[in-house]
């Protein structure tokens, strides 16, 4: 069933979107789609950083649009006062569109031929990895909501947080598990853990982090 969002320029509208993205990497499904492009266009600019999940999602979609474009269909969302995107506005521009109207000049052909090759190289999908991370807390009195907020507040280009859950480990203690997707050339998982998740101020809630699964996409 399609989801409807209202007035994304209002606090209530942004709060609904932020809550929707709390356990999702994309507006619908498991890959970027036309639904994400519709929402991205409807926002008309980067959201306030107080909406952590919306900001994380917005930056990720911005990066995808710069790198490769978005082609998946999505499930069809509606945003009050905004028309869904068309196929033409989603597709990655064809390299043929960059050709000049007058191609009689051999030098011009060579120049644009080189440009097209560069565009093809830039459009290649970067290497990505899917990671399941164990986040261990100090004790059973740790505020789990604050813990998740702290983890998701770590934002950087090439990092996308996914779904999360609590896992019992015994004696009333639980650990926090969360999925993430990283662009390999942009994010070092070791640096993410050592410099962001287990250092101040995050280490107030986080004792340590372990990689449970690491898969290339």
pLDDT in tens, 3-52: 777 777 788 888 888 888 888 888 887 778 888 888 888 887 888 888 88
- How far is it, in rounded angstroms, from Cα 182 to Cα 45? 24
Nearest to 160, CA basis, from 119, 120, 212, 217 = 217
pLDDT band at 115 (very low <50, low <70, confident <90, very high): low
pLDDT on residue 95:
42
More confident site: 27 or 125: 27
Whether the predicted pLDDT of 112 surpasses 90: no
Q: Output the pTM of the full model.
A: 0.43
**Each residue's pLDDT tens digit, 56-109:** 888 888 888 777 666 666 566 666 655 555 544 444 444 444 444 455 555 545
Cα angle at 51 between 45 and 56, to 5 degrees? 70
Please report where in the chains the tokens 């028309």 appear, as a residue.
83
Residues 134-187: pLDDT tens digits?
998 888 788 888 889 999 999 999 999 999 888 887 777 778 899 999 998 899
Q: Distances in Å between the alpha carbon of 213 and those of 23, 127, 189?
A: 19, 17, 12
């Amino acid at each position: 069933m399609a989801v409807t969002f209202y007035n994304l320029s209002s606090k209530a509208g942004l709060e609904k979107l932020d809550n929707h993205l709390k356990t999702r990497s994309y507006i619908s499904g498991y890959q970027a789609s036309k639904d994400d492009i519709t929402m991205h266009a409807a926002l008309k600019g980067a959201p306030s950083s107080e909406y952590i999940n919306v900001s994380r999602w917005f930056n990720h979609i911005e990066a995808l649009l710069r790198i490769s474009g978005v082609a998946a269909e999505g499930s069809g969302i509606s945003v009050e006062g905004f028309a869904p995107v068309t196929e033409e506005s989603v597709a990655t521009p064809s390299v043929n569109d960059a050709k000049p109207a007058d191609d009689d000049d051999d030098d011009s052909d060579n120049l644009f031929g080189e440009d097209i090759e560069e565009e093809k190289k830039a459009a290649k999908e970067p290497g990505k990895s899917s990671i399941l991370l164990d986040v261990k807390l100090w004790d059973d009195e740790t505020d789990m909501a604050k813990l998740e907020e702290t983890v998701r507040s770590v934002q950087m280009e090439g990092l996308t947080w996914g779904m999360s859950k609590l896992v019992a480990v015994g004696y009333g203690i639980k650990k926090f598990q969360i999925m993430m997707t990283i662009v390999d050339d942009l994010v070092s998982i070791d640096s993410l853990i050592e410099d962001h998740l287990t250092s101040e101020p995050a280490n107030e809630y986080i004792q340590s982090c372990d990689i449970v699964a690491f898969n290339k996409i």
